[in-house]
């Protein structure tokens, strides 16, 4: 049922204090379109203050903390999120409209786990050491020493707000950096709430800072001479803008960007398993997952069966509703602006000759939800592989089914894209598994599954989907700088 909403204030969090600027923007509830909060926009003065606080903490208490003490504190941040699980859950649901069933299993526990997973990253990964020959025969010893990169600007998106922000803040802090976070303007709540946790667990002031606002606030961070590195997740166009913005000050940048991920269903796939995984990959979080599948190539011999079974999945498994209703597993998209973008692709699909097998529009409820940003899960066939709908990122719960005839052809089709984030394919032939997987140009390839994640593994995209890898030891490339020490023996 719909509950009364009290409008919250979302201040910036700078040097351990909550800072209001009085210059606010409204945060809306995607379920109904109501205002749930007012976030205070950070201008140059606030961004400067956040960067200065982060620098002072880096040179002061945080930088001086022994590694084991720092790791303990990063663990404590994760525990602190878990202690306030219900508050984080409520805040995330108000910003995104996603079902509690999803946010309570993915967003909030995943956000907390990001601190635990990365807390010990430095302790667990040794640096290299080489014994080097010298002319006098005595030799030299080379070994690497890791330093924190410095003040890290974190610019994050709205689809998994806490999870994707902490995916960066966790390793950044564990490696001894300090951070200035600019959460998405659409979903600013949980980053703000995390400031309270930082204070509660005794993280020194200035280690974690949050500034709110739109792209302009993000641009103040990317151009700031006091920021040493930018880690960004968001659209490819924004990533490209950021790459240009960091050039004059020569900052390191780690970019996780958009995708148009392919699914492939071979003729020998186990279809019960395939439909379950594929259904999730197309529709979970209302299709707003960067790793989700928006085009599925299905072997021609089983095309009609797979199409029918995916439609049955959408019909029987996806339940619209209020987020706190236990049965709800399908929510709105994040904003009216994003709904309009997704619906524009639904119109375009009709123009490009799609046959709509399921959905294709926006649901009508006859209640206050009609003010929200809902779209129907949608399945198309009949779209050409090179149509705009099958090549551009929609970031909604919609999938184009396209037939193929043989393995070589489908590998070419899957790779025929500017993006290269993820791919998922389904087969029971183990030779095919190892033949096809390495040929796919994607940072992550799932076989007979989707979204099985291990934070220790490399995460990132090829081509226009990303620059750099984060996760486990791979994140050390960005969150630390290694200097080589050479000792003559
Ligand atoms: P977006 O690029 O619109 O915004 C992301 C962030 O960048 C926001 O905080 C925004 O305010 C900020 N921003 C915008 N312009 C800026 C500028 N000029 N300088 C600095 N910051 C700026 O992305 P979004 O709509 O929030 O997120 C959806 C996109 O994110 C999709 O394309 C999706 O594929 C991608 N995504 C990628 C991954 C991944 O890991 N590769 C994960 C999740 C989402």
Please state the φ and ψ torsions of residue 263, each to the nearest 5 degrees.
-110, 150
Over the Cα atoms of the chain, what is R_g? 23
Task: Tell me the best of 185, 234, 288, 420 to mutate to test the pocket of ligand 1, counting ligand atoms within 8 Å of each CB and taking the most.
Answer: 234
Whether 256 is catalytic = yes
Cα 154 to middle of ligand 1, angstroms:
11
Question: What is the predicted pLDDT for the residue at 4?
Answer: 87
Report CA(231)–ligand 1 centroid distance (Å). Answer: 11
Query: For 90, phi and psi rounded to 5 degrees?
Result: -60, -40
For residue 132, list its beta bridge partners: 140
In 3D, which of 120, 114, 186, 124 has the Cα closest to residue 157? 186
Q: For tokens 């003010």, what's the residue? A: 371
**Both tokens of residue 325?**
């209703």
Is 175 one of the annotated active-site residues of the chain?
no
Q: What distances in angstroms separate CA 42 from CA 12, 164, 220, one per listed residue?
A: 7, 21, 10
Catalytic residue among 175, 205, 277, 290: 290
Q: Are 108 and 85 in contact (CB under 8 A)?
A: yes
pLDDT given at position 188: 98
* Closest C-alpha to 269, from 436, 438, 443: 436
The residue behind tokens 């219900």 is 86
What residues does ligand 1 touch, defined as CB less than 6 Å away?
155-159, 164, 182, 184-185, 214-215, 218-219, 222, 233-235, 238, 241-242, 256-259, 290, 393, 395, 421, 461, 465-466
Which runs of E-coded beta strand occur in 257-352?
261-265, 293-299
Residue 288 has a pLDDT of 98
Give the distance from CA 160 to its chain's centroid: 6
Backbone φ and ψ for 68, nearest 5 degrees, come out as: -65, -35
> What are the phi and psi torsion angles at 467 (to 5°)?
-130, 120
Interhelix angle 236-246/215-222, rounded to 10 degrees, is: 40
Tokens 């148009």 found at: 260
- Minimum CA distance residue for ligand 1 atom 28: 234
Which residues are bridge partners to 255 per DSSP? 232, 467
CA distance 308 to 313: 9
- Of 185, 256, 393, 470, catalytic: 256
489 residues of the chain, pLDDT tens digit each: 567 899 999 999 999 999 999 999 999 999 999 999 999 999 999 999 999 999 999 999 999 999 999 999 999 999 999 999 999 999 999 999 999 999 999 999 999 999 999 999 988 899 999 999 999 999 999 999 999 999 999 999 999 999 999 999 999 999 999 999 999 999 999 999 999 999 999 999 999 999 999 999 999 999 999 999 999 999 999 999 999 999 999 999 999 999 999 999 999 999 999 999 999 999 999 999 999 999 999 999 999 999 999 999 999 999 999 999 999 999 999 999 999 999 999 999 999 999 999 999 999 999 999 999 999 999 999 999 999 999 999 999 999 999 999 999 999 999 999 999 999 999 999 999 999 999 999 999 999 999 999 999 999 999 999 999 999 999 999 999 999 999 999
Residues whose CB is less than 8 angstroms from the CB of residue 86 and which lie 6 or more positions away in sequence, other chains included: none
Neighbours of 385 (CB within 10 A): 17
Q: How far is the CA of 461 from the centre of ligand 1 (A)?
A: 14
Question: 3-state DSSP call for residue 57?
Answer: helix
**Looking at the DSSP assignment, which residues form a beta bridge with residue 293?**
261
Is there a contact between 229 and 54 (Cβ–Cβ < 8 Å)? no
Q: Which atom of ligand 1 is nearest to the CA of 184?
A: 9
- Residue pair 468/477 in contact (Cβ under 8 Å)? The answer is yes
Name the closest-CA residue to atom 16, ligand 1.
215
Give me the pLDDT at residue 2, please. 67
Question: What is the CB neighbour count within 10 angstroms for residue 314?
Answer: 22
Phi/psi at 176 (nearest 5 deg)? Answer: 95, 5
How many Cα neighbours within 13 Å face the side chain of 201? 24
Question: Which residue's entry shows tokens 């099985």?
Answer: 452
Q: How far apart are CA 427 and CA 432, in angstroms?
A: 7
Expressed in angstroms and rounded, the spacing between residue 288 Cα and the centre of ligand 1 is 12
Whether residue 219 contacts residue 229, with contact meaning beta carbons closer than 8 Å, is answered with no
Q: Which pLDDT does position 433 carry in this prediction?
A: 98
Report the DSSP pairing between strands 151-155 and 229-233. Answer: parallel
The residue whose C-alpha atom lies closest to atom 20 belonging to ligand 1 is 218
**Residue ID of nearest Cα to ligand 1 atom 12:** 215
Mutate to test the pocket of ligand 1, among 107, 157, 338, 417 (most ligand atoms within 8 A of CB): 157
Dist CA 216 CA 25 (whole Å): 13
């Amino acid at each position: 049922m719909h509950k009364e909403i009290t409008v919250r204030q979302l201040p910036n969090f700078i040097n351990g204090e909550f800072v209001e600027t009085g210059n606010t923007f409204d945060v809306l509830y995607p379920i109904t379109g109501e205002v749930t909060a007012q976030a205070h926009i950070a201008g140059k003065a606030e961004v400067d203050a956040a960067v200065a606080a982060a620098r002072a903490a880096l040179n002061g208490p945080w930088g001086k903390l022994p590694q084991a003490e720092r790791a303990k504190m990063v663990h404590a941040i994760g525990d602190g999120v878990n202690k306030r699980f219900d508050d984080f859950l409520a805040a995330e649901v108000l910003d995104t409209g996603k079902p509690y069933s999803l946010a309570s299993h993915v967003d909030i526990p995943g956000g907390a786990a990001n601190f635990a997973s990365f807390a010990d990253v430095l302790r667990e990964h040794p640096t290299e050491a080489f014994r080097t020959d010298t002319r006098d025969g005595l030799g030299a010893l080379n070994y690497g020493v890791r330093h924190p990169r410095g003040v890290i600007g974190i610019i994050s998106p709205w689809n998994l707000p806490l999870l994707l922000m902490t995916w960066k803040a966790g390793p950044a802090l564990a490696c001894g950096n300090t951070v200035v976070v600019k959460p998405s303007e659409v979903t600013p709540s949980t980053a703000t709430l995390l400031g309270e946790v930082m204070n509660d667990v005794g993280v020194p002031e200035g280690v974690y800072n949050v500034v709110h606002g739109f792209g302009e606030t993000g641009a103040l961070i990317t151009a700031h001479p006091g920021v040493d590195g930018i880690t960004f997740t968001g659209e490819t166009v924004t990533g490209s803008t950021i790459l240009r913005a960091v050039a004059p000050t020569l900052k390191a940048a780690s970019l996780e960007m958009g995708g148009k991920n392919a699914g492939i269903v071979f003729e020998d796939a186990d279809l019960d398993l395939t439909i379950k995984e594929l259904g999730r990959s197309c529709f979970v979080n209302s299709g707003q997952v960067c790793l989700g599948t928006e085009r599925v190539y299905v072997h021609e011999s089983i095309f009609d069966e797979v199409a029918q079974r995916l439609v049955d999945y959408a019909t029987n498994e996806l339940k619209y509703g209020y987020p706190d209703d236990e049965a709800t597993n399908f929510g709105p998209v994040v904003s009216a602006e994003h709904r309009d973008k997704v619906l524009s692709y639904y119109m375009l699909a009709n123009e490009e000759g799609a046959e709509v097998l399921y959905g294709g529009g926006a649901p009508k409820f006859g209640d206050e939800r009609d003010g929200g940003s809902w779209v129907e899960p949608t399945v198309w066939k009949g779209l050409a592989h090179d149509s705009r709908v099958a090549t551009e990122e929609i970031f909604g719960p919609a999938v184009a089914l396209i037939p193929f005839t043989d393995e070589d052809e489908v590998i070419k089709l899957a790779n025929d894209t500017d993006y290269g984030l993820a791919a998922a394919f389904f087969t029971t032939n183990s030779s095919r598994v190892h033949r096809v997987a390495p040929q796919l140009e994607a940072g992550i390839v799932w076989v007979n599954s989707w979204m099985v994640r291990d934070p220790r593994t490399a995460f990132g995209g090829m081509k226009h989907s990303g620059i750099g890898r984060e996760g486990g030891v791979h994140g050390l490339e960005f969150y630390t700088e290694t200097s080589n020490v050479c000792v003559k023996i």
